[in-house]
Amino acid sequence: MIEPTFDRDGYPTEETLEAIRQWSYCDMSGLMEFVREAWEYSDYVTREGRKLELHTGGWSGNESLITALQDNALFWATCWEKSERGGHFWFSLPEALAAIEEVKA
């Protein structure tokens, strides 16, 4: 899947959520960008280099994206930094993994 898709109400489709769940460990940076593109309310997402900050804004579509990220066990285990009550999440691509992705590219 090249870019996220949405239903007629603007929610991420099951295909988008499944792509996140199954995303390859060899491209975690690509997954971060894919989620950034799928995120509703662009003011609630920040992507800077290896860092990704997400705030759901209470919108269930964004919460579905977080659940899909949690279901991607390798992403969650390696990139999740912290969460705070109210739908706030911080992720960071480990330096070693970023170096592997750079070599692959």
Q: What pLDDT does 91 receive?
A: 97
Q: What pLDDT does 1 receive?
A: 72
Residues 79-91 pLDDT 10s = 999 999 999 999 9
Distance CA(2)–CA(100), nearest Å, equals: 22
What pTM was computed for the model?
A: 0.90
Low-confidence residues in the chain, pLDDT < 50: none
Residue whose C-alpha is closest to residue 38's, from 12, 18, 75, 13:
12
| Domains of the chain listed by start with CATH number | 14-24+42-104 (3.30.70)
Q: Is the CB of residue 45 less than 8 Å from the CB of residue 53? A: yes
